[in-house]
Amino acid sequence: MSRRNPKGRDINGIILLDKDTGLSSNAVLQKVKRLFFAKKAGHTGALDPLASGILPICLGQATKVAGFLLDDNKRYFVKGKLGETTDTLDCEGEITSTKAFELSEAQVKEVAFSFQGDIEQIPPMYSALKKEGQPLYELARQGIEIERPARPVTIFNIDFLGYESGILTLEVACSKGTYIRSLIADIGEKLGCGAHVIELRRMGFAHMDIKQAIKFSELENLVSDDYIKLDAKIFPSEDMLPNIHSVTIDEEQGIDIRYGRTVKVENQADNLVKIFDENAIFLGIGKIENNILQPKRLFV
């Protein structure tokens, strides 16, 4: 094997990982970082250990676009068990109540569909949201519960996939910030019997589909001394931001942008933009206001 930089490789881009259940997002991140021998890596849109599915892993400079990826919509497959509530709102927690029930599929479907649209949702205590710098899940593990204000989220669509033996199966398209565990718990509360998540899989992230994602075990099979097969699985950062308009600047403007200076652009609407130079090289993310382009996150 060739001698390697002990600090890792300078590689940039995004891996669409199909995360398995049982591991935290951070644990998976560290495994991917080691596998690619990357200097820097981060994930976006964390998944609970219970959950599987699309987890974008940002390598190198791509960590600068993580915040923009977080703003995108998502799609989930979920199974909820009616008649039981848990402290974590999923099957990894302790059962806090049980209730016998008799519900028809029509009743369950009607209540599930009632959550489509703009709704208010209270985040779960077992979440990474912070109170005075401390994650809520740490407080929850100490038996501390604090008041959480309801937040506006949007459920764009609910596909009702089935209801059998007290198990509700849905596919949910939703906005950023939506907690599927809270959605299932709220459906159970409205049905009068309670509910919690027993299976959760992220099927879509922005324009990305689970079919584009790759398992960690598949990545392991591509390991080689030259990294060629592994690196072929990296998506360019700019391809992961299809909803952000692109703008091309000339050579002189490119010099200014690389030094963090603003440049004047013509006939451009005020908006976030992906910046490309005259050679179609992606420079980063900027913002246009009154025909002035201000660099925000540069890759140079």
Query: pLDDT per residue over 251-262, tens digit each?
Result: 999 999 999 999
**CATH architecture of residue range(s) 244-298:** Roll (2.30)
Would you say residue 242 has pLDDT above 90? no
Please indicate whether residue 96 or residue 130 has the higher confidence score (pLDDT): 96
Q: Which pLDDT score is estimated for 243? A: 83
Would you say residue 2 has pLDDT above 60? no
Average pLDDT of the chain to the nearest whole number: 91
The fourth-level CATH superfamily of domain 74-205 is Pseudouridine synthase (3.30.2350.10)
Please indicate whether residue 45 or residue 238 has the higher confidence score (pLDDT): 238
Closest CA to 124 of 81, 159, 172, 92: 92
Query: pLDDT per residue over 207-235, tens digit each?
Result: 899 999 999 999 999 999 999 999 999 99
Answering whether pTM is above 0.95, one says no
Percent of the chain with pLDDT over 90: 73
Cα separation of 7 and 3, whole Å?
12
**Would you say 101 and 193 are in contact if contact means Cβ atoms under 8 Å apart?**
yes
Question: What residues does each domain of the chain span?
Answer: 13-71+208-239, 74-205, 244-298
Q: pLDDT-derived band of residue 5, with 50, 70 and 90 as boundaries?
A: low
Active-site residue, selected from the candidate residues 10, 18, 20, 48:
48
Q: Which pLDDT score is estimated for 1? A: 39
Contacts of 72 (CB under 8 A, 6+ apart): 176, 205, 206, 243
Q: Which pLDDT score is estimated for 46? A: 83
The fourth-level CATH superfamily of domain 13-71+208-239 is Pseudouridine synthase (3.30.2350.10)
Q: Which pLDDT score is estimated for 3? A: 46
Q: Which residues of 109-134 are buried (b: 16+ CB within 10 A; e: fewer)?
A: bebbeebeeebebebbbbbeeeeeee
Query: pLDDT per residue over 140-192, tens digit each?
Result: 777 777 778 899 999 999 999 999 999 999 999 999 889 999 999 999 999 99
Q: pLDDT-derived band of residue 4, with 50, 70 and 90 as boundaries?
A: low
231 is catalytic: no
Cα separation of 297 and 284, whole Å?
5
Determine the residue type at 284. G
13-71+208-239 matches 74-205 in fold = yes
